[in-house]
Every structure is written in C-alpha cells, then in structure tokens.
Amino acid sequence: MMGPTEVPAQSPETTIKIPTAHYEFGANYYDPKLLLIGRVMTDGRLNARLKADLTDKLVVKANALITNEEHMSQAMFNFDYMGSDYRAQLQLGQSALIGATYIQSVTNHLSLGGEIFWAGVPRKSGIGYAARYETDKMVASGQVASTGAVVMNYVQKISDKVSLATDFMYNYFSRDVTASVGYDYMLRQARVRGKIDSNGVASALLEERLSMGLNFLLSAELDHKKKDYKFGFGLTVG
C-alpha cells in the first residue's frame, strides 16, 4: 500500500499529506461456523478478527488491534442473539467499555430499538433510540442519542435500476450539521454511485464488469473548500 496519510493541520481548511508505504501479510481461515482473519503490518501492528456461530441464534465476534505503542492496543467482543422478530447485542471492550443494543420488529414494516453504553475510562455513559420503517420501495431510519447525535436516513427506490438517498447528521452539543444526497444507478454491466454533501464534497464511484471475473473501478472525490482532490482506478480479479 502506497499513498499519502492525511494529518490534521491548525487550519480546518488545510490538509497536510505525508507520503507513506506499508506491506501487509494476511492469513484467513474459513469454516461454515468459524471465521479467522489476521493481518500483520510492517510497523508491527497486528489486526485480528474472529466470528464464531455457537448456535443458530448466538454469534460471537471479536476484533483486536495489537501495537508496540503503549496504551494503543484495542480489543472488542460482541455477542449477537437473533430471535424470530428481534435482535440483541452485548459489547465488551477495553477501558471497561460495556454496551448493549436491542431492536424489535413492531409490525411487518416498523422496527424500534435502543442502545446503552458505559465506559469506565473516562467514566462516560450514553443512551440512544432508533426507528426504522421499510417497504418494497423505500427505507427510512432515525437515531437520537444522549451524546448529542441526531441521524436520519432515507432511501427511495425509483425503479429496478435507480435509487436515490439522502441523510442528515446533527449534533446539538457542537452544533455541527451535515446533509447529503446521493444516487445509485445499475446498468447492464456497470454500476454508478455518487453523492454530494452540504460541505461541498462531491464523490462518485464507477464499477464496470469487463468480463467474467474482471471488474474495472474508477472513483473520485472533490473537496473544493479544502482544495483536496482524490482520484483512483483499479482492477479486481476473481
């Protein structure tokens, strides 16, 4: 992997980029009820991921990041239980982090849920509520949390090939507001997606199938306010 790493600058409108390069070695193990993924970077970082299906309804997930830097290693454990019309999750992490989420299908289209978390370091807690309404043509969802976050999303299916979406994010503590609109267009051998947000950042992604097992990718992101422009292309085989 070669490319610049963005570093925050004193001015929010300025972006500092430092050239970096890394080599990564990975090992994967797949089983119908067990998934193990490991990645080792040249700087000594180790990323590990585990997913185990203990029963048809109970799943255990674990993620870990181990580094040579002091107090920078992280670990997180998730226990997911899926019922016939509900789903519950328990989270355990470093720094005495404990979280729980629950979502219940109220009707065939409406689901309601909530979450709560507590972090021993630095002794913070929060609670949130969520709602989701879904039909064959649209999906609408909303979230409100005591941390100040308010998030709303809406996706409308125009046809079998075209979908439009919009989202809104607001924090009533920091007064930060971001909204965006986007599209998803499916062609016979290609897929085009794009969006533009209230900060003036426009992005687009093209995925085209050249032949069986060979795809071409083309992407771009334009941030005129920060004068930050990104372009990329790629090929995927398999």
- Residues 122-171: tens digit of each pLDDT: 788 999 999 999 999 999 999 999 999 999 999 999 999 999 999 999 99
Q: What is the pLDDT of residue 8?
A: 75
Q: What is the pLDDT of residue 120?
A: 83
Determine the 3-state secondary structure of 187 from DSSP. coil
Q: What is the pLDDT of residue 219?
A: 97
Determine the 3-state secondary structure of 163 from DSSP. strand
Q: What is the pLDDT of residue 224?
A: 85
Positions in the chain short of pLDDT 70: 12-13
Whether the link from the prior residue into 122 is cis, omega within 30° of 0, is yes
Q: What is the pLDDT of residue 12?
A: 66
Q: What is the pLDDT of residue 13?
A: 67
